Structure 1
Amino acid sequence: MIETRTGRDGRGAGPRTRPAPGNRAIDLAGAALIRTRDAALARIFSTWAYGQTLHGQMPDHMVLYPPELRPGRASAADALFQGRWFLPGGQVRAPGGSSPFAADPPSERWAEELHGFSWLRHFTTAHEANNGDAARQYAQKLVADWIATEGNWHPVAWRPQVIGRRLISWVANGALIIDGTELVYRSTLLRNMARQARHLARVAAIAPAGEPRITAAMGLAFSGLCLSEGHKRLTKGVQLLCRELDRQILADGGHVSRNPSAQLSILLDLLSLRDALTARNIEVPKPVRDAIDRMTPMLRFFRHGDGRLALFNGSTEGPEGAVDAALDRDDTKGKPFGFAPHSGYQRLAAGNVNLIADTGTAPPGAYSHEAHAGCLSFEMSVGRNRMIVNCGATKVLGPDWEAASRATAAHSTLVLNDTSSARMLKGKISRTLLGPRVMEGPVEVESRRNENEAGVWLDTGHDGYAGLFGLIHRRRLFLSATGEDLRGEDMLETAQARRRPKPWNPLYWHKVPEDPDFAIRFHIHPDARVSLAHDRSNVLVLLPNGDGWQFRARSGGGECEIDIEESVYLGSGDTTRRAEQIVVTGRVFRGEARVNWAWRRLSTRNAGHPKREDAEVPELPELEFPAGE
């Protein structure tokens, strides 16, 4: 039996301590100082005098083109060629061959993606697929346009993390944008890359905390590795990278943000850097090797049966083929482990069923800008088919959609009184200074796991509703050894001596109901078909491969109802798909509530809805959690 108790820092078992609020005066004061510093530096960096300090030895060639591990799509290149710049953060049309750099960006996120040039890989793929020069010529034109318009200074394009991503993209796609070009263009490009790299060497360490700082360090290291005069920058970039890996990569290999997409992105860059260092006969630093060795099994942990990522804490499914591209470089080819105590996740696997559950607290404030209020939510895939999902995340559809996707209701878990278990910063000044970080949420999340020949039991709980409602949410799961039977129990119980409701808290000036309603949501992947029995006693879910799964539920002491409601699926990150969700509703009675539910595989092909006489819900046995040894 394995038991973990996770605190706010997400680093596994430890003392039960209450985290500091996300909007403390000291945090706001520090953020104000940083903003003032950045504004002052921006004024300096934009001057002619500062630009002169970026002159230096000019690289005469690019030593190495490191591997581009992020898969490209020729169709995406075609859309960009036609002026449809659909990037995270929005979309812009630049028809008639006009430069996208002259367009008004719909958001800062879109501008960062545009100036980061990670989309160059699509043109490389199109060039290799069509064996023509149109993609190459257009990519070179875009690089030349950027140098002409933003090559000296731009408040977004010259942010450290944006420079880092751009340098990584330019060297990884160097064969596309450099080979076979005229001397003047090539010299201008290499000179400009050296200017960017010199500036990055001065500012990489003050990039925003988290993945952006790793990207800045990575870009600095690649510039030193791939440009002929950059050996000093390589040393500095690797030193900063190793320091950030020590800070951000947890002992179980997860990223401190708890975002599987960040896990994939950082690992792809690390693998590319490792391969490039090896190609140059340069020893790979031990912190880089150790980070890869820890992060690769964790990436496998997050992979569903379809080969793509689980949707937790701002993650999307990831680019098609990207997870496989990373795992193909893992010589061990090991199986996913069962639990990640430092990252705060559990994985249950049996037969061809994989279930991944969020059993952790929110990341530290500076790393929580994309964290979701999805504590105790889970996703489940059957073979290559996703069945139970979270809604996912989007950075394309605007702030309202982004906020909705972070709410507890967008996750497959219990929602109390239509209130999220974690709250994000909303104050205008606080949000401007600190960003949309998590302000308040579960302080203590417990999980207890037991495995034997019958299957896997998981007993979890969080106190995210204790401060407002005085209630603890507990969720118990059992997955049979065959993978054909998943049983669960959701309970609400009085917090007792833990966190009491605080009606004087200014966040909760509205009246808190004594017996609030609750809803247990199971979001179903849009590829599955969902049908509710006529007597509303059970639900059938039919997967694309013909497998049928029956869902049923009963309340332990009160009334509960099963219904089907509309949902939305944002797994790709840039499009919405209509979906459905199973919703079990009820009401807390005298400070407690309990619902037992079960998923059972009906058949492997062409399952039909149970006949009317079989529709009565059989008794669901209470989950008996095995005693520890």
Structure 2
Amino acid sequence: MSEELAASRAPTKGARSEHHIMPPGNRTADLCVAAARRTLDHALAYIYGTRVYGLTLRGPMPDHMVHYPKDLRPGRADKGAALMHGRFDLPGGQVRVTDTSPFLAAAPSETWAEELHGFSWARHLSARGDAHARQFARLLIEDWIATSGRWHPIAWRPHVIGRRLISWVANGRLIMENSELVYRSTLLRNMASQARHLARVAGGAPAGEPRLTAALGLAFSGLCLSDGPKRLAKGLALVCRELREQILPDGGHISRSPAAQLSILLDLVSLREALIARRQEVPMDVRNAIDRMMPMLRFFRHGDSKLALFNGSNEGPDGAIDAVLAYDDTKGKPFGFAPHSGYQRLSAGKSTLLIDTGPPPPGRYSHDSHAGCLSFEMSAGRCRLVVNCGDTRLFGPDWRAASRATAAHSTMVVNDTSSARFTQGAMAHLLLGPRLMEGPSRVESRRNETADGIWLEASHNGYQKLFGLIHGRRLFLAANGEDLRGEDHLLRVTDDDTPPWHPDYWKKKTEGEAFALRFHLHPEARASLAHDGSNVLVMLPNGDGWQFRARVLGGGESTLTLEDSVYLGGGETTRRSEQIVVSGHVFKDEAKVQWAWRRLSNARPTKGEEAEVPEFPELTPASPASD
């Protein structure tokens, strides 16, 4: 080996390696625990619905709200107007009501019902702030108390109560000020009953963000109602326990969802500010969690200041990210990699890449997880170029299932099969919900930063069990941010532990699996395929032009096409978009695709004149990213 090659392969100061191994789950044990839990929940629901249990929720009645915490989730007056016209477009579905109560309407999904009973949408009525909005909000609360105020199987779930109490105290001026005495007394009495029940069941809420929401609701009720000092102490203790369990050392949430990161941070900052306003001590666990989560939220932002689309996320509510980051005293730049959350961020010039380099979260935290291992997103300045499709809960379970598949992400797909599998079968789905059951158990990444740019090499084994293939991806972003080079490869591996009589043994001996390397484009990016099919030119709204080229190595036929896609990043609408697809077949136990994105110096060629076509860049074996 030459001295130059040896030097290039030697560890450097900027090199960092990460290894993520997900412990294998036990599906049988999970199903048994879920079945036992569901049986217990049904028994408890019967008890909670009795008049005798309702009597146990009586106690001292608060006479007023002592504090109205600030709701950092921005409200929209236009959405408030839609609600007043009977249009309840909430996560989980869309319902129009005219002459009936929304709480008696047929719910399109449990998610929609939880959102309706959680009253998070009340902030849109507060955004209107007029007398009609106040009257409408109070009529809906009276309606809710009449239909669901004693017991309801969905409305009285711990996390739904938590969200409703947070929403009611945060919108206290809307629903309380200058109200009639009878209405105000009935509302406060009902809130106290909900809070007493929540104090008993908050710890049994579903794991993850729902349990933290229940704990936060308990803390807010204790802080904002005049009879709540004991509930405040219990709620804060539960909040601190869940923060220690759910917030990773790098500040990410255990679900690996940027949306969960934002949602939890919005509530935590609101709680911290409310405690300070009430001259209460802020627990150290709350302070530490906020300090760690703020940089991680910046990590997940693109050049347009909105969220990346990984693991159930969309771009985020308008203004919500800026609202919470306004309370970040450090205002530091995003770091480069999140070793515990399993993400990498490459920034150079005006370009930003975010890459998923981690395994799925533990099963109980994976209800929003996607099969997007090694997918990436890229923005150039304030314009998004390469994206994932995102996630939506407005259009039903079929849309959501499609958005979670690997094909909805900018990565490589084998045989139209996702790299992770979700719950299958009515019984498993009923007991466990739409959680992830099996996915990449080992994900490795190695990063190196040099004067030339940033190198990243990563791999996952999500296709090993089905096809005996390992997917690897190598990326290089030049220092000026105008040149992104990539290489995706599939390599067949031998698993000596699989006996010949096992069905997977023969699957691994087959060849010729089809693959598709997908690059989903943002709807505002305009793409055109060259006549000879050799490259794609993409124009961004800011006038920048980017050229994509690819080639498949090692033999076999391949195609470069421009196909239809869909963008769900807005969260409330579907937008037509396009995707670049490089397709081929595994040949002689291996497939390798080299590709490149390069910003064109002449972004707008005149009519009849073709833009300069750069030479295809090489990823040499002696690169610092090699091992």
- Which bracket does the TM-score occupy, shorter chain normalised? over 0.9
Specify the SS of the correspondent of 1:115.
Answer: helix
Aligned to 1:454: 452
Shift, 1:622, TM fit: 2.1
- TM-score w.r.t. the length of structure 1 is 0.94
Letter aligned with residue 62 of structure 2: P
Aligned to 2:12: none
Matches within 5 A, 1:267-306: 267-306=265-304
Q: Distance in 2 between matches of 1:397 and 1:519?
A: 27
Q: Distance in 1 between matches of 2:626 and 2:326?
A: 38
Q: Are the counterparts in 2 of residues 225 and 234 from structure 1 also a CA contact under 8 Å?
A: yes
Equivalent of residue 547 in structure 1, options 541, 544, 547: 544
Q: Distance in 1 between matches of 2:500 and 2:174?
A: 61
Q: Distance in 2 between matches of 1:622 and 1:511?
A: 29
Q: Distance in 1 between matches of 2:473 and 2:286?
A: 38
Specify the SS of the correspondent of 1:157.
Answer: coil
Equivalent of residue 150 in structure 1, options 139, 142, 148: 148
Q: Are the counterparts in 2 of residues 466 and 501 from structure 1 also a CA contact under 8 Å?
A: no
Deviations 1:508-549 (A, max 9, x none): 999985211111000000011010000010001101111100
Deviations 1:199-254 (A, max 9, x none): 00000000000100000000000000000010000000011111111111111111
C-alpha change, 1:516 and 1:234, in structure 2 (3 Å) is same
Matches within 5 A, 1:415-434: 415-434=413-432
Shift, 1:148, TM fit: 1.4
Matches within 5 A, 1:549-564: 549-558=546-555, 559-564=557-562
Shift, 1:560, TM fit: 2.5
Q: Are the counterparts in 1 of residues 466 and 507 from structure 2 also a CA contact under 8 Å?
A: no
Aligned to 2:59: 56
Q: Distance in 2 between matches of 1:161 and 1:435?
A: 16
Aligned to 1:525: 522
Aligned to 2:115: 113
Shift, 1:555, TM fit: 1.6
Equivalent of residue 215 in structure 2, options 208, 214, 217: 217
Q: Find out whether 1:3 has 2:17 as its counterpart.
A: yes
Q: Are the counterparts in 2 of residues 466 and 498 from structure 1 also a CA contact under 8 Å?
A: no
Q: Are the counterparts in 1 of residues 529 and 537 from structure 2 also a CA contact under 8 Å?
A: yes
Matches within 5 A, 1:470-509: 470-497=468-495, 504=502
Specify the SS of the correspondent of 1:6.
Answer: strand
C-alpha change, 1:560 and 1:608, in structure 2 (3 Å) is farther
Q: Are the counterparts in 2 of residues 467 and 501 from structure 1 also a CA contact under 8 Å?
A: no
Q: Are the counterparts in 2 of residues 494 and 592 from structure 1 also a CA contact under 8 Å?
A: yes
Q: Distance in 1 between matches of 2:307 and 2:501?
A: 40
Aligned to 2:25: 20
Q: Are the counterparts in 1 of residues 457 and 472 from structure 2 also a CA contact under 8 Å?
A: yes
Q: Distance in 2 between matches of 1:271 and 1:360?
A: 27
Q: Distance in 2 between matches of 1:383 and 1:114?
A: 38
C-alpha change, 1:511 and 1:401, in structure 2 (3 Å) is farther
C-alpha change, 1:115 and 1:505, in structure 2 (3 Å) is farther
Matches within 5 A, 1:151-550: 151-497=149-495, 504=502, 513-550=510-547
Shift, 1:606, TM fit: 3.4
Shift, 1:607, TM fit: 5.3
Q: Distance in 2 between matches of 1:499 and 1:529?
A: 49
Deviations 1:141-194 (A, max 9, x none): 111111111110000000000000000000000011001111111111111100
Q: Distance in 1 between matches of 2:501 and 2:610?
A: 49
Aligned to 2:39: 36
Shift, 1:587, TM fit: 1.0
Letter aligned with residue 81 of structure 1: M
Q: Distance in 1 between matches of 2:465 and 2:209?
A: 31
Aligned to 1:73: 76
Q: Distance in 2 between matches of 1:470 and 1:140?
A: 60
Q: Distance in 2 between matches of 1:281 and 1:604?
A: 60
Q: Distance in 1 between matches of 2:106 and 2:462?
A: 41
Unmatched 5+ stretches in structure 2: 1-14
Letter aligned with residue 328 of structure 1: A
Aligned to 1:122: 124
C-alpha change, 1:490 and 1:432, in structure 2 (3 Å) is same
Q: Are the counterparts in 1 of residues 467 and 508 from structure 2 also a CA contact under 8 Å?
A: no
Q: Distance in 1 between matches of 2:431 and 2:442?
A: 27
Equivalent of residue 572 in structure 1, options 570, 573, 577: 570
Aligned to 1:592: 590
Deviations 1:302-321 (A, max 9, x none): 01111111000111111011
Q: Are the counterparts in 2 of residues 547 and 601 from structure 1 also a CA contact under 8 Å?
A: yes
C-alpha change, 1:601 and 1:188, in structure 2 (3 Å) is same
Moved more, 98-107 or 602-611: 602-611
Shift, 1:432, TM fit: 1.1
Q: Distance in 1 between matches of 2:353 and 2:602?
A: 19
Unmatched 5+ stretches in structure 1: 9-17
Letter aligned with residue 124 of structure 1: S
C-alpha change, 1:608 and 1:462, in structure 2 (3 Å) is farther
Moved more, 513-522 or 353-362: 513-522
C-alpha change, 1:346 and 1:95, in structure 2 (3 Å) is same
Deviations 1:327-365 (A, max 9, x none): 111000000000001000000001111110000000001
Q: Distance in 2 between matches of 1:60 and 1:607?
A: 71
Q: Are the counterparts in 1 of residues 455 and 625 from structure 2 also a CA contact under 8 Å?
A: no
Deviations 1:74-102 (A, max 9, x none): 11011111111110111111125x42112
Q: Distance in 1 between matches of 2:205 and 2:607?
A: 55
C-alpha change, 1:619 and 1:308, in structure 2 (3 Å) is closer
Aligned to 1:12: none
Letter aligned with residue 523 of structure 1: H
Q: Distance in 2 between matches of 1:524 and 1:608?
A: 24
Q: Are the counterparts in 2 of residues 467 and 499 from structure 1 also a CA contact under 8 Å?
A: no
C-alpha change, 1:501 and 1:622, in structure 2 (3 Å) is farther
C-alpha change, 1:503 and 1:621, in structure 2 (3 Å) is farther
Q: Distance in 1 between matches of 2:229 and 2:195?
A: 12
Letter aligned with residue 564 of structure 1: L
Q: Are the counterparts in 2 of residues 468 and 501 from structure 1 also a CA contact under 8 Å?
A: no
Q: Distance in 2 between matches of 1:55 and 1:625?
A: 70
Shift, 1:64, TM fit: 0.3
Q: Are the counterparts in 1 of residues 216 and 235 from structure 2 also a CA contact under 8 Å?
A: yes
Letter aligned with residue 428 of structure 2: S
Letter aligned with residue 117 of structure 2: H
Q: Distance in 2 between matches of 1:627 and 1:99?
A: 61
Letter aligned with residue 7 of structure 1: I
> RMSD across aligned C-alpha pairs, in angstroms?
2.0
Shift, 1:20, TM fit: 2.3
Q: Are the counterparts in 2 of residues 569 and 577 from structure 1 also a CA contact under 8 Å?
A: yes
Aligned to 1:104: 106
Q: Are the counterparts in 2 of residues 346 and 359 from structure 1 also a CA contact under 8 Å?
A: yes
Specify the SS of the correspondent of 1:531.
Answer: strand
Specify the SS of the correspondent of 2:223.
Answer: helix
C-alpha change, 1:627 and 1:392, in structure 2 (3 Å) is closer
Q: Are the counterparts in 2 of residues 455 and 479 from structure 1 also a CA contact under 8 Å?
A: yes
Specify the SS of the correspondent of 1:307.
Answer: coil
Q: Distance in 2 between matches of 1:332 and 1:492?
A: 43
